C-alpha cells in the first residue's frame, strides 16, 4: 500500500466515523444538511438540490433519486408513468437476517416506490421519449422481476409506438433474494431491446450513473446504441477486490471509473449532470435525420424480402400438393398474375421474367427467384437448395 492510498483510507475512515447527516433525511425527519461522499464537505440540501446534487466543493455527482431525475429530464407536466402498481412478491420465501418481504416493505415505505425503477413516457425538450430511471435508494437499485418486467414493458411499448428509449441505470446488480428469477430478467430485457434496436430500428441510449454494477452492466446498461455516463461514475461487473484476488494483480487506481472505461472504448461520452438533458435532446434531434434508427414500429405482418427460411417454407409448401391450401393458393396466385400482367396467365405457362416482376410488385422488393427452375416453359422447384 502506498502512502497516498494509506492517507486516502484514513480519510475515508474518518468520514465513515463522522456523524451521518444524510441519515436524518432518510428517517423522514427532513434533515437540512448532508455530506459529500467524495470530499466530505458539509452541504446544505436545499442548495444541493438546486445544483442537481453536484457537490459545490469538488464537483462530485451525488446520488439522485429517480423522482428528482425525472423532474430534471422530462418537461414539466408531460410525465406519464407506467405500471406503478406492479409490486414484487417473494417466490423463494427468502430469509437472511430479515425476511425478504420485510425488506421490501421497509424500502417501499421509505422511498414511496413499489420497486427500484420508474418507467413512463414524457417529452424531453419537446421530443417524445420512453424513459426508465432506476433508484439506488430502493434496495441498492437491485434488479428483481419487477424491475425486469417494467423495463421490458417500457421497451415493448416504445417499440410499438416508435419511441426512442432512454434508461438511466443505477444498480448494484441482480436481486439476490429472487435468485434465478432476477437473473432471467437480463435475458428478457436484452431480447426486448434486440427487437427494439435491430428489428424496429429504433434508438436506445443508456445513461450510466454511479454505481452501475453486476447484472445490469452485464445486460441492458452496455447494450445502448449510445452509452453515456456521469463523471467519475463507478461502472463494473464484479467488485474490485474480487478481480484483484482472481487475477493476482494490482489494478490501476481509476479502474472501473467512467473515465477509465471511456479511455478503453466502452463508453461513448461522459456528460456532467448539468448538460445531460441538453446532450440527450441534441442526440435525439440528430438521430431524427439519421438514415438508420428512425423506422419506428416493428414491421409486423409486413412482407419483407424473401429470406432463406421463407424460401424453404415456400418450397416445401409447393412441393406438397396434398396441402388443402395448395389449390386455393395457386388459383389466387393465377388471379393475381392475370391482374398484374393484364392477360390470362396460368402458373404453368409463366416465364421467369413475368414471375419476377409479379413477385417484385407483390412484395414491393427485389426478390431472388433462383430457387425456381424454368424448363420448357414449365416451372419446377430446384431439388437442392443452393
Ligand atoms: Zn465534494
Residue 24 predicted with pLDDT over 60: no
List the beta bridge partners of residue 250.
Answer: none
The average pLDDT across 41-56 equals: 91
Residue 35 CA to ligand 1 centre (angstroms): 8
Residue 62 CA to ligand 1 centre (angstroms): 8
Three cell numbers at 93? 420465501
Which pLDDT score is estimated for 369? 47
Q: Is 199 annotated as a binding residue?
A: no
Q: Is 36 annotated as a binding residue?
A: yes
Q: Is 55 annotated as a binding residue?
A: yes
State the Cα–Cα distance between residues 248 and 251, nearest whole angstrom: 9
Residue 153's Cβ-count burial label (10 Å; 0-12, 13-18, 19+) is middle
Q: Provide the sign of the torsion angle of the four alpha carbons 270, 273, 279, 284, taken in this order.
A: positive
State the Cα–Cα distance between residues 312 and 292, nearest whole angstrom: 29
Instruction: Give the model confidence (pLDDT) of 249-272 as tens digits.
Output: 899 988 999 999 999 999 999 999
Domains of the chain (ranges, CATH numbers): 29-62 (no CATH), 63-288 (3.90.226.10), 308-379 (no CATH)
Residue 336 CA to ligand 1 centre (angstroms): 73
| pLDDT confidence tier of residue 308, bands split at 50, 70 and 90 | low
Q: Are 376 and 353 in contact (CB under 8 A)?
A: no
The average pLDDT across 98-122 equals: 94
Please tell me the pTM assigned to this model: 0.70
pLDDT, greater one: 162 or 54: 54
Q: Pairing state of beta strands 42-44 and 127-134?
A: unpaired
Three cell numbers at 268? 461513448
Residue 137 CA to ligand 1 centre (angstroms): 20
- Average pLDDT score over the chain: 81
Instruction: Give the model confidence (pLDDT) of 198-210 as tens digits.
Output: 888 889 999 999 8
Q: Is 363 annotated as a binding residue?
A: no
Chain Cα centroid distance, residue 10: 39
Three cell numbers at 83? 405500471
Which pLDDT score is estimated for 200? 82
Radius of gyration of the chain from its Cα atoms, rounded to whole angstroms: 28
Amino acid at each position: 500500500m502506498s502512502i497516498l492510498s494509506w492517507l486516502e483510507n484514513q480519510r475515508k475512515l474518518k468520514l465513515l466515523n463522522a456523524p451521518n447527516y444524510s441519515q436524518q433525511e432518510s428517517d423522514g425527519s427532513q434533515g437540512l444538511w448532508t455530506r459529500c461522499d467524495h470530499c466530505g464537505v458539509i452541504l446544505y440540501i436545499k442548495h444541493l438540490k438546486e445544483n442537481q446534487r453536484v457537490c459545490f466543493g469538488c464537483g462530485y455527482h451525488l446520488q439522485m433519486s429517480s423522482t428528482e431525475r425525472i423532474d430534471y429530464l422530462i418537461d414539466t407536466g408531460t410525465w406519464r408513468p407506467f405500471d406503478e402498481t406492479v409490486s414484487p412478491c417473494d417466490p423463494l420465501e427468502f430469509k437472511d437476517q430479515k425476511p425478504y418481504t420485510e425488506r421490501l416493505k421497509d424500502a417501499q415505505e421509505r422511498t414511496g416506490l413499489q420497486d427500484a425503477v420508474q418507467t413512463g413516457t414524457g417529452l424531453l425538450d419537446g421530443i417524445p421519449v420512453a424513459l426508465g430511471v432506476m433508484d439506488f435508494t430502493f434496495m441498492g437499485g437491485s434488479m428483481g422481476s419487477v424491475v425486469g418486467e417494467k423495463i421490458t414493458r417500457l421497451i415493448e411499448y416504445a417499440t410499438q409506438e416508435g419511441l426512442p428509449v432512454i434508461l438511466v441505470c443505477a444498480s448494484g446488480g441482480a436481486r439476490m433474494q429472487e435468485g434465478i428469477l432476477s437473473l432471467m430478467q437480463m435475458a428478457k430485457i436484452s431480447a426486448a431491446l434486440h427487437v427494439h434496436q435491430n428489428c424496429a430500428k429504433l434508438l436506445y441510449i443508456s445513461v450510466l450513473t454511479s454505481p452501475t454494477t453486476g447484472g445490469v452492466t452485464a445486460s441492458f446498461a452496455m447494450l445502448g446504441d449510445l452509452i453515456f455516463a456521469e463523471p467519475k461514475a463507478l461502472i463494473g461487473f464484479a467488485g474490485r477486490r474480487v478481480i484483484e484476488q482472481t487475477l493476482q494483480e494490482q489494478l490501476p487506481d481509476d479502474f472501473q471509473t467512467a473515465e477509465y472505461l471511456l479511455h478503453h472504448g466502452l463508453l461513448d461520452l461522459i456528460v456532467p449532470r448539468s448538460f445531460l438533458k441538453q446532450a440527450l435532446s441534441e442526440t435525439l434531434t440528430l438521430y431524427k435525420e439519421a438514415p438508420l434508427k428512425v423506422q419506428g414500429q416493428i414491421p409486423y405482418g409486413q412482407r419483407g424480402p424473401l429470406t432463406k427460411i421463407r424460401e424453404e417454407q415456400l418450397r416445401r409448401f409447393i412441393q406438397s400438393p396434398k396441402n388443402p391450401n395448395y389449390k386455393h393458393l395457386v388459383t389466387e396466385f393465377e388471379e393475381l398474375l392475370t391482374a398484374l400482367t393484364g392477360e390470362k396467365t396460368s402458373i404453368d405457362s409463366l416465364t421467369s421474367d413475368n414471375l419476377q416482376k409479379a413477385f417484385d410488385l407483390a412484395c414491393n422488393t427485389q426478390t431472388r427467384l433462383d430457387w425456381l427452375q424454368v424448363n420448357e416453359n414449365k416451372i419446377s422447384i430446384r431439388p437442392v437448395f443452393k
